[in-house]
């Protein structure tokens, strides 16, 4: 009988199985999501946005001439104390943010315009080199967007 692995005893086999289980059972929450998110400026690399009332579709990708909107001045900064800054077209606005689930894949982001605006971020994926998420706003001027940001 052929075997793929040459394992001399059951103890070695058990050890290999336990190592495999340990490697594949690592959870994403072992990554410090807040540390990856905070203290950095995140610029828009790509955005796809569908406006609720007008039905207008906006698309932006850095360096892509087929973009129909310009988000090159769109930046977000998250601070560890749940505050931050949203910058767009040379204007800066204070923000506050909070995760809304234990997995840290959802958050509310309040942009403090003259009339504060609450945005909802979901399906967040944060690494050292990118931050992707779905974003939506409720109400008559609502929208749904898919956004990819990269560190500036």
Per-residue confidence (pLDDT) for residue 9, from 0 to 100: 60
Q: Angle at Cα 112 formed by Cα 106 and Cα 118, nearest 5°?
A: 35
Q: Are 46 and 60 in contact (CB under 8 A)?
A: yes
Answer whether 0.85 is exceeded by the pTM.
no
Longest dimension (CA), the chain: 76
List residues bridging with 99 in a β-sheet: 107
In 3D space, the residue among 86, 140, 133, 139 whose CA is nearest the CA of residue 113 turns out to be: 86
pLDDT means over runs of 10, the chain (152 residues)? 53 52 47 92 98 94 97 98 97 98 97 97 97 96 97 95
Backbone angles phi, psi at 44, to 5 degrees: -75, 125
In 3D space, the residue among 126, 81, 137 whose CA is nearest the CA of residue 104 turns out to be: 126
Distance, in Å, from the CA atom of 18 to the CA atom of 142, rounded to the nearest integer, reads 49
């Amino acid at each position: 009988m052929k075997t793929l692995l040459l394992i001399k005893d059951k103890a070695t086999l058990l050890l290999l199985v336990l190592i495999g289980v340990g490697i594949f059972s690592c959870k994403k929450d072992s990554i410090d999501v807040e540390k990856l998110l905070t203290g950095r400026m995140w610029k828009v690399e790509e955005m796809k946005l569908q406006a609720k009332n007008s039905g207008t579709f906006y698309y932006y990708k850095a360096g892509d001439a087929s973009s129909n909107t310009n988000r090159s001045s769109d930046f977000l900064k998250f601070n560890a104390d749940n505050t931050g800054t949203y910058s767009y077209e040379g204007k800066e606005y204070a923000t506050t943010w909070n995760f809304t689930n234990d997995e840290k894949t959802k958050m509310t982001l309040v942009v403090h315009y003259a009339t504060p605006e609450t945005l909802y971020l979901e399906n967040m994926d944060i690494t050292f080199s990118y931050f992707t998420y779905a974003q939506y706003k409720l109400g008559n001027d609502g929208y749904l967007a898919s956004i990819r940001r990269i560190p500036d």
